[in-house]
Amino acid sequence: MSETVGSQRLAVRVAGRESGDVAAAARERADAPVVEAGSTGVPGVEPLLAASDGDETTFYANATPADAEAVADALAGDGALPDGDATVDTADAAALPLPDLDGFGAERSVLARCGWIAPTNPDAYADAVGFTDADPDAVVESAGGVLGRGWGDWSADEPVGPLWEGVRERDGSPAVVVNAHGNPGDALLGESDPFSVLEGAAHVARVVDAVQVFVYVSEDDEAARDALTAAADAYPDFPVDVSVVEGPAAYRAAEPTMAIEAVEGNHRLEARLRPPGPEVEGVFGEPTVVHTARTVAHVAAAVRGEPTDSRVLSVTGDADEATLELTADDALDTALDAAGVSDYTGVLVGGRFGGLTTDLDVTPTPDALDAADLGTDGVLEVLGPDACPVAFVGKRAQFAEDANCGRCVPCREGSKQLTELLRDVYEGSLDRPKIDELMRVMESSSVCAFGQHAPRPVRTGLQEFAEEFEAHAQGTCPAGQCLSDATGEEPARAKP
């Protein structure tokens, strides 16, 4: 049975990585199409079975093969659909109709097809939104104002148009790197809607007259790698050569110049000195554009004429992981409400080296986040109600010491000294002036964003939880969690 649905009245969709048995059970009994979709971004409810009958879709969370058989039998006319966990009017078959379940926000734009269409079937993508091949000037006009998303983007929080203009005006053989490494939102798009990523990359490649597109993924994100590879093979008339390249799972490997090092096949990844930046000397010395998967998906949406001011956010930490989307007017606490998180000590906003806060009445725009001293990498890491913020920032400093590339002194030695100064707090010494000066040097003189951002959890933690730091210096942990010191986090995974 085809994995496209089109205008058919009845359909079964199963979303999530562990959905094979559920989908197989449905196929054995159903006459309707059965679609294996990618993840919805809410793994806590997956496998998520969706049974569409006319204008209604009923959802079954954590579905089993028995659930699939019962649904298939009902759709075949043997009875009413079993009661589900949510039922939604299905007016638009091209996008996931959001169920009233924890983890789903109110609206989706670039995530609209995640968990709804067959990710690597070009016909499914064509039916949903269609492939476009707008000319370069039209792409610049419609998408040149899109802001780059994520710390792995060379245009992070800046309009992408000027970067494109700079690259296409240079001599050489330009390249495009799609950096899908290390962020849950980028991995989700690669896994569940790879054609939108590739379509955005194709637009950029035409604008800068690129000769090669590299899609860069973490070796840990196998689902994204496999989906992007299959989609690249199936993409109709991709304008240039396209390759999917793996890099090590280390967090730092997502940094734009280290992504280029990985694309070139270098085993030891170090941040490149700049200037010149990748737009001058990138992959194999050629001018190169580096964008995250989120950025190019927004570019594809802009070319289709869709709004592009939404932000993809992932809730992680002491909470069930969920990747969702907020508009530019939504406050960050909207995301936590949608994810079912109501009790927490604080939230690290903006990725591994984001800002620690308890005030989430902040919109997800770069200006608002910057004004609140928070990061923009689209990750909200929850510290549960029993977490100790002092231990948390100490572990984050230890991570910076363990995981930096070693290229520059301010980051390499600064993160080491910062960890030691935080350890001294447990010995009764809280030297704020010395900590502040060290962080200022790291932020102002480190080569790349890793070292420039590494002090932020500590700096914001000292501001937000000053009383807790003072209590620790006096030998007390208010949360009752600290038995010795604040070290010990293993930096094995790239994801925040």
For 336-346, what is each residue's pLDDT tens digit? Answer: 999 999 999 99
Point out the least confidently predicted range of 1-5, 255-259, 377-381: 1-5
Q: How far apart are CA 29 and CA 352, in angstroms?
A: 46
| Triad 29, 32, 36: Cα angle to 5° | 85
Q: Could you tell me the pLDDT band of residue 195, with boundaries at 50, 70 and 90?
A: very high
The two tokens of residue 300 are 């594809």
Pick from 219, 154, 176: nearest CA to 449: 154
Strand 355-357, strand 346-349: pairing: antiparallel
Q: What is the mean pLDDT of residues 95-99?
A: 93
pLDDT of amino acid 92: 64
Pick from 10, 48, 15, 7: nearest CA to 30: 10
Q: What is the mean pLDDT of residues 8-37?
A: 89
pLDDT of amino acid 496: 32
Q: What is the mean pLDDT of residues 208-218?
A: 98
The two tokens of residue 165 are 């203009």
Indicate whether 494 pLDDT > 60.
Answer: no
Q: How far apart are CA 308 and CA 303, in angstroms?
A: 10
The Cβ of residue 340 has, within 10 Å, a number of other Cβ atoms equal to: 14
C-beta separation of 384 from 347 below 8 A: no
Task: Considering only the C-alpha atoms of the chain, give the largest distance between any 2 of them, rounded to a whole number of Å.
Answer: 74
Collapsing DSSP to helix, strand or coil, 317 comes out as strand
Indicate whether 493 pLDDT > 60.
Answer: no
CB-count burial class (<10 Å; 0-12, 13-18, 19+) for 7: exposed
Q: Using a pLDDT cut of 90, give the percent of the chain over it.
A: 87
C-beta separation of 38 from 192 below 8 A: yes
- Structure-token match 């689902």, residue found: 223
pLDDT of amino acid 488: 45
Of how many residues is the chain composed?
496
Q: Could you tell me the pLDDT band of residue 90, with boundaries at 50, 70 and 90?
A: confident
pLDDT, tens digit, 9 for 90 and up, residues 51-84: 998 889 999 999 999 999 999 999 888 678 999 9
pLDDT, tens digit, 9 for 90 and up, residues 127-177: 999 999 999 999 999 999 999 999 999 999 999 999 999 999 999 999 999
Contacts by 441-446, CB closer than 8 A, 24 or more apart: 441/410, 441/414, 442/410, 442/411, 442/414, 442/415, 442/418, 445/408, 445/410, 446/408, 446/410, 446/411, 446/414
Collapsing DSSP to helix, strand or coil, 254 comes out as helix
Q: How far apart are CA 302 and CA 307, in angstroms?
A: 6
- Structure-token match 């800068």, residue found: 208
pLDDT of amino acid 17: 86
The two tokens of residue 454 are 């590494």
Q: Could you tell me the pLDDT band of residue 2, with boundaries at 50, 70 and 90?
A: very low
Contacts by 140-145, CB closer than 8 A, 24 or more apart: 140/164, 140/165, 140/207, 142/302, 142/303, 142/305, 143/203, 143/298, 143/299, 143/302, 143/303, 143/308
Up-side HSE of residue 1: CA atoms within 13 Å toward CB? 21
| Triad 86, 89, 92: Cα angle to 5° | 125
Indicate whether 284 pLDDT > 90.
Answer: yes
For residues 487 and 41, which has the higher predicted lDDT (pLDDT)?
41
List phi, psi (to 5°) of 35. -110, 125
C-beta separation of 294 from 186 below 8 A: yes
Q: What is the mean pLDDT of residues 226-240?
A: 97
The mean pLDDT value of the chain amounts to 93
pLDDT of amino acid 76: 85
State the virtual CA torsion across 48, 192, 364, 495 in degrees, nearest 10: 90
The two tokens of residue 276 are 């010149």
Q: Could you tell me the pLDDT band of residue 93, with boundaries at 50, 70 and 90?
A: confident
Pick from 203, 202, 201, 191: nearest CA to 228: 191
Collapsing DSSP to helix, strand or coil, 471 comes out as helix
Q: How far apart are CA 281 and CA 24, in angstroms?
A: 49
The two tokens of residue 183 are 């962020």
Indicate whether 492 pLDDT > 50.
Answer: no
Up-side HSE of residue 97: CA atoms within 13 Å toward CB? 18
State the virtual CA torsion across 387, 392, 395, 401 in degrees, nearest 10: 170
Given 3-state DSSP classes, what are the helix, strand and coil percentages for the chain, each rounded to the nearest 5?
Answer: 40, 15, 45
Per DSSP, helices labelled H in 74-221 are 122-128, 136-143, 161-168, 184-192, 194-208
Indicate whether 99 pLDDT > 60.
Answer: yes
Q: What is the mean pLDDT of residues 467-487?
A: 84
Q: How far apart are CA 305 and CA 12, in angstroms?
A: 30
